Amino acid sequence: MSSSKPIFGHHSEMKITSILLFFLVPAFIFIFGSIVGEDYEAVVKYFSRPWPAIITSLTIVIGLQHFQSGAQVLIEDYIRGSAHKLAIVFIKSISYFLMVVGLYAVARMAF
């Protein structure tokens, strides 16, 4: 018997985002850690370079996508009824909102 579920589901998405975050988080910590304690102008100048802006943007997007997928699995497992759909919409809305805010902040510094 074959499953009628899509091949690329939450499990595959979580595995891929986990692998990506395995490499992105240490790079982000190095980038962010090297600028901690600097004044505003130095931080803006630092994030106007492509490498820090790209790593930070990828970490924000992939990290929140990983959060969204994991939270959706928890919601699907433990919440039933109309609260189920409402919770999924809420989690997706929060995730996408935070992605937009984070990318906007990086873009403001980069450009």
Whether the full predicted model's pTM is greater than 0.95, yes or no, is no
The one-letter amino acid at 32: F
Tens of pLDDT along 37-90?
999 999 999 999 999 999 999 999 999 999 999 999 999 999 999 999 999 999
Nearest-angstrom CA–CA distance, 38 and 53: 17
Three-class DSSP category at 16? helix
Q: Which domains does the chain have, with CATH numbers?
A: 10-110 (1.20.1300)
Nearest CA to 60 out of 91, 12, 5, 17 is that of: 17
Tens of pLDDT along 1-39?
444 555 567 789 999 999 999 999 999 999 999 999 999
**What is the C-alpha radius of gyration for the chain, rounded to an integer number of angstroms?**
17
